[in-house]
A and B are shown apart, each in its own frame.
Chain A
């Protein structure tokens, strides 16, 4: 399977702990995106990378959140000092950049539950 892969699929943690999620995009895709989705809502954009450069961050991305894509391949999203409101599904997507606005292909997400 050559789709977008996210790990772990589920994460349960206590409030105040740090968590890190990993995303492996489709191999030839140089754009990588992070979204957050809560129950009954559509995904909300958090940030995106073109190769290793982080080009845009949403105001939703507080200073407790940090994302990296060190070699332009996989990416990590870290949340420090987790809060109840961080409970959500965190989705990663990837796309090509050639020829206009290419469709983004999503992984199956990491579901975060804060106790």
Chain B
């Protein structure tokens, strides 16, 4: 069974303090590793898809990277508006379904 584990569960940063979120996955035949952002009371908002080890994607202050067992979401010089829950999900096999981790709740303070 596919498994996705995210750490830490919660992270508090000061504005400008860079850090990384971790996503470990066990999937038979990975067909995409996805990162989403979720604000309270909203649905997940798509950020990135990574397909193969070594791949990197960037968007503003966020950069996602992928190895054979893990993905990292690096946040550079975060701002308070980056506060949200960040979800990682794997797509495996013939799959259309995504298997999500439990997320990392990020709070960025002034």
A42 contacts B101, C-beta separation under 8 Å:
yes
A45-B41 in contact (CB<8A): no
Most buried by A among B41, B44, B87: B44
Interface size of A by Cβ–Cβ distance < 8 Å?
A: 28
Residues of B within 8 A of A6 (CB): 43
Contact B46 A104 (CB under 8 A): yes
Given A42-B87, A100-B31, A101-B32 in contact, is the A106-B100 Cβ separation under 8 Å? no
Chain B residues closer than 8 Å to A100, beta-carbon distance: 31-32, 51
Are A43 and B44 neighbours in the complex by a CB distance under 8 Å? yes
In the complex, whether A107 has a CB less than 8 A from a CB of chain B is: yes
Provide 11 A-B residue pairs closer than 8 Å at the C-beta atoms, listed in order of the A residue: A31-B96, A41-B102, A42-B101, A43-B44, A44-B100, A56-B96, A91-B43, A101-B95, A103-B46, A104-B46, A106-B43
- Taking A6-B43, A31-B96, A48-B96 as known contacts, 4 extra A-B pairs with beta carbons closer than 8 A to each other, sorted by chain A number, are A91-B44, A103-B32, A103-B49, A108-B43
A-to-B contact residues, CB < 8 Å: 4, 6, 31, 33, 40-45, 48, 50, 55-56, 58, 91, 93, 95, 100-101, 103-109, 111
